[in-house]
Amino acid sequence: MSVKAVFLAASGALLLGGCVYRERVVYRQAPPGAPVTTTEQEVVVAGAPPAPLVEEYVLAPGPGFIWIGGAWIWRGHWEWEHGRWARPPHRGAVWMPHHYVNRGGAHVFIRGGWR
């Protein structure tokens, strides 16, 4: 086997290795009085997301709306989810934003949602 063939095979393996991810869904009991069970999704990926984009937004469309800021989310690749105005699904609901943590050198995306 030539040196070129070995180099190409090794390069291909490295490129494909960066695309590996695993998903873990954790179910927790909802807080007292909440109408539904909350779900938290964690996705471990090989690299950090791009830098956040700067978004401009207009005034809320009405009373009771909150701004949910845009964020990079993992859908098999990093994809920007634009910010939006939304109403809480029930009284006392709080939006927990998408966020990222580093655990032992692994980059973990934690999906946000209403709690």
Statement: residue 107 has pLDDT above 60: yes
More confident residue, 73 or 28: 73
pTM over 0.85, yes/no: no
Q: What does the pLDDT look like over 34-73, one tens digit per residue?
A: 333 333 588 888 788 899 999 988 899 999 999 999 999 9
pLDDT of residue 105: 86
* Radius of gyration of the CA atoms of the chain, in A: 19
| Position 89 pLDDT exceeds 90 | yes
Q: Model confidence at 19, in pLDDT bands (50, 70, 90)?
A: very low
CA angle 62, 65, 67 (to 5 degrees): 125
Two tokens at 81?
């989810």
Instruction: Say which residues have a Cβ less than 8 Å from residue 5's Cβ, sequence separation at least 6.
Output: none
100 or 12, which is more confident: 100
